[in-house]
């Protein structure tokens, strides 16, 4: 297996960017041993294989794949909200409201309103660039997040302002408005206040201007779709609102002692606080069914493969050719 070279500093520590960089086993989840194919853990193999499929499709046709994936990603988010009983207004419905009121401008993908709160949700079916995960340079963060999180913040802020100007039904007051930017994979950004601290003063000012009087900066949060599943499942089970959970996160992030590295940690602490058994409620029924189906199909394929190669020496040339292909892939 390919080895990754680490740069060691004079004090013997690994450089920060190496510590936070993507694990090699995510890129190479399959180990080819003398005894056969293996992996360090089924969970690692599952994630690695998923990444292999994702990256292969993106490499083959980046634009075509992204267009289709974005639509499926938005539809899946709508499904998740529906499964856990959180009513939403979708982008198409919001555009009708814009049209009826003769206004134009940016709009979010979903709006959830209940019990005096408004949550503006924007779906971004993207994964983090490695530079974003390891850098502390504000200009790199700004450039890499310009078309995702920063765009989502502006969309939420403008949508809130537009709906407020036309007196949209049940739109919450300023302090009870929230924005949630949902990505395919986690960027580990926390909330709007934390993101603003990562940026230079110039771009920090632009964020403040985008949400000023529209959505409190502390009410802007970021998470991946897997954590959204957990948030909605937990709020449904504990009969609390999305806003209750986001307020909890904002309060935890105010001081270093309770701030968290990722949203999953907030979910676990919130679950413990409410004595919920769902400390990590990730995955919907449809995902579980799909996982069971794919696992079953994979097991059948492996069984047929085993039977196929038992035919003896006549298969050796073909076997060696296939092994060569597998080694190139993994």
What is residue 178's predicted lDDT score, i.e. its pLDDT? 98
Place of tokens 């401008």: 105
What is residue 38's predicted lDDT score, i.e. its pLDDT? 85
Radius of gyration for the alpha carbons in the chain, expressed in angstroms and rounded: 23
Which two structure tokens, joined as six digits, stand for 250? 């904002």
Q: What is the DSSP string of 104-148?
A: -----SEEEEETTEEEEEEEE-----HHHHH---HHHHHHHHTTT
Q: Give me the residue spans of the domains in the chain.
A: 1-60, 62-273, 292-330
DSSP 40: S
Burial class (CB in 10 A: 0-12, 13-18, 19+), 246: buried
Q: What is the DSSP string of 75-91?
A: HHHHHHHHHTT---EEH
DSSP 310: G
What is residue 17's predicted lDDT score, i.e. its pLDDT? 65
What is residue 3's predicted lDDT score, i.e. its pLDDT? 47
What is residue 6's predicted lDDT score, i.e. its pLDDT? 45
What is residue 2's predicted lDDT score, i.e. its pLDDT? 44
What's the CA gap between 124 and 69, in Å, rounded? 10
Which two structure tokens, joined as six digits, stand for 131? 């530079």
Burial 177-215 (b: 16+ CB within 10 A, else e): bbbbbbbbebbbbbbbbbbbebbeeebbeebeebbeebb
Q: Give the chain's residues under pLDDT 50.
A: 1-4, 6, 8-9
Half-sphere exposure (Cβ direction) of 247: Cα atoms closer than 13 Å: 11
- Three-state secondary structure call for residue 311: helix
Where are the alpha helices (H) located in the chain, listed in sequence order?
16-20, 24-27, 42-60, 62-83, 91-100, 130-134, 138-145, 149-165, 192-198, 201-211, 225-238, 242-253, 263-273, 285-308, 316-329
pTM of structure: 0.81
What is residue 146's predicted lDDT score, i.e. its pLDDT? 81
Burial class (CB in 10 A: 0-12, 13-18, 19+), 270: buried
CB 110 within 8 A of CB 123: yes
């Amino acid at each position: 297996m390919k080895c990754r070279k680490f740069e060691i500093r004079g004090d013997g520590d690994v450089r920060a960017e190496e510590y936070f960089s993507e694990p090699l086993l995510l890129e190479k989840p399959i180990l080819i041993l003398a005894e056969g194919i293996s992996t360090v853990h089924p969970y690692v193999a599952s994630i690695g294989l998923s990444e292999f499929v994702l990256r292969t499709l993106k490499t083959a046709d980046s634009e075509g794949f992204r267009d289709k994936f974005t639509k499926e990603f938005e539809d899946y988010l709508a499904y998740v909200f529906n499964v856990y009983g959180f009513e939403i207004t979708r982008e198409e419905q919001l555009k009708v409201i814009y049209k009826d009121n003769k206004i134009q401008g940016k709009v979010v993908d979903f709006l959830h309103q209940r019990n005096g709160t408004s949550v503006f949700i924007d779906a971004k079916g993207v994964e983090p660039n490695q530079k974003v995960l390891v850098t502390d340079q504000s200009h790199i963060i700004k450039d890499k997040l310009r078309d995702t999180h920063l765009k989502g913040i502006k969309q939420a802020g403008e949508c809130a302002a537009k709906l407020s100007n036309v007196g949209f039904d049940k739109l919450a007051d300023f302090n009870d408005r929230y924005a949630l930017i949902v990505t395919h994979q986690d960027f580990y950004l926390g909330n709007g206040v934390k993101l603003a601290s990562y940026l230079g003063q110039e771009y920090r000012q632009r964020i403040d201007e985008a949400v000023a009087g529209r959505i409190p900066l502390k009410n802007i949060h970021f998470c991946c779709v897997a954590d959204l599943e957990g948030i909605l499942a937990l709020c449904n089970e504990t009969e609390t609102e999305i806003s209750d959970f986001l307020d909890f996160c904002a309060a935890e992030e105010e001081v270093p002692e309770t701030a968290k590295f990722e949203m999953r940690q907030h979910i676990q602490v919130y679950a413990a606080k409410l004595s919920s058994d769902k400390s990590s409620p990730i995955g919907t029924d449809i995902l579980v069914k799909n996982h069971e189906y794919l696992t079953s199909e994979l097991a059948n394929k492996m069984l047929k493969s085993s039977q196929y190669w038992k035919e003896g020496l006549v298969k050796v040339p073909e076997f060696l050719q296939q092994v060569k292909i597998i080694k190139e892939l993994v």
